[in-house]
Amino acid sequence: MLTFVGAGLYDESDITLKGLNAIKDADHVFAEFYTSKLMGTTLDKMEQLYGKKIHLLAREDVEQSPEKVLTLAKDENVVFLTGGDVMVSTTHVDLRLRAMDMGIKTRIIHGLSVQSAVCGLTGLQNYRFGKSASIAFPYKGRVSEMPYDTIKTNKEHNLHTLLFLDIAEKCMTINEAIDILLRIEKNRKEDVVKGIGVGIARAGSENPVVRADYVDGLREYDFGAPLHVLVIPGRLHFLEAEALIKLAGAPPEIESEII
């Protein structure tokens, strides 16, 4: 059997009791942290709490050469551990489908999700989020404009946009993400992202930072250590505006953004 377990948002204690029991019952435990990272813990701390050796997998091990994991799962109990919730990444869906094609039984044990954490921390309403996107660092001097286009499309439908920030080589900050978006905006001579933004740092920790402001002000704010995510809202419901003022220190002027 291959069991997919979400480890949660921040540290080793975020895992569900059901997920912890699955790990304790497993013959082998594998983990990948290239799609998300638990910044408040280490592999040693996780192994100490879970009582099992964790074998860390690189992106290539999962996407190109998962044979080791799948071969073991044919006859033994294998746990595949990820940050956040499972099956959010297409990488994990692909691995599950490969397992099923080999006749391997699979199951999912969900973990805490940053999507629901963002709603809880900010007061922005879940049903008002559109398509999410990831902001990547420039590659060979080129910047992907896909996140900007996603924001633009969502705003046309009066929806919020959740933006995941690059963690491949280093962890992108909210400030760097805003710089990239404003660079695209300047080049395109458009006016899509200069309204309200909401930054969230270290969701799931004891002291998360949640800050709402106009993007130019948010760009200068020190959010501290990663992980960071950014939300560019559409127009706000009056309860969302009140929540951002009270929960995220937004300026009272944002009430002008109410639907």
pLDDT per position as a tens digit, 11-53: 999 999 999 999 999 999 999 999 999 999 999 999 999 999 9
For 15, other C-beta atoms within 10 Å of its C-beta total: 24
Decide: 132 and 232 in contact? Cβ < 8 Å. no
Structure tokens given for 119? 């709603």
H and E: helices and strands count for the chain: 10, 10
The tens digit of pLDDT for each residue in 97-126 reads 999 999 999 999 999 999 999 999 999 999
- The Cα 207–Cα 168 span in angstroms is 25
CA angle 71, 76, 82 (to 5 degrees): 75
If one looks up domain 114-257 in CATH, what number appears?
3.30.950.10
CATH 3.40.1360.10 fits 2-109, yes or no: no
Place of tokens 């996140």: 147
Mean pLDDT of 180-206: 95
Every domain of the chain and the residues it spans: 2-109, 114-257
Task: Please determine, for residue 169, whether its predicted confidence score (pLDDT) is greater than 80.
Answer: yes
User: Residue 194: is its pLDDT beyond 90?
Assistant: no
Mean pLDDT, rounded, of the chain: 95
Q: Report d(CA 223, CA 165) in Å as an integer.
A: 14
Distance CA 134, CA 49 (A): 32
- Concatenated DSSP letters for 66-103? THHHHHHHHHS-EEEEESBSSSSSHHHHHHHHHHHHTT
Q: Is the dihedral of CA 244, 249, 250, 253 positive or negative?
A: positive
CB 78, CB 4: distance < 8 Å: no
Q: Which residues contact 168 (CB under 8 A, 6 or more apart)?
A: 34, 136, 137
Q: Taking 90 as the threshold, does the pLDDT of residue 257 lie above it?
A: no
Is the separation of the CB atoms in 170 and 231 below 8 Å?
Answer: no
Dist CA 134 CA 146 (whole Å): 8
Question: What average pLDDT does this structure show over 81-96?
Answer: 93
Q: Which residue has the tokens 């297409």?
A: 90
Contact 53, 45 (CB under 8 A): no
Provide the CA 26 distance to its chain's centre, in angstroms: 26
Measured on CA atoms in the order 131, 136, 138, 140, is the torsion positive or negative? negative
SS3 of 99-138: the string is: HHHCCCCEEEECCCCHHHHHHHHHCCCHHHECCCEEECCC
The pLDDT value recorded for residue 140 is 85
Nearest-10 crossing angle of helices 174-188, 146-156: 80
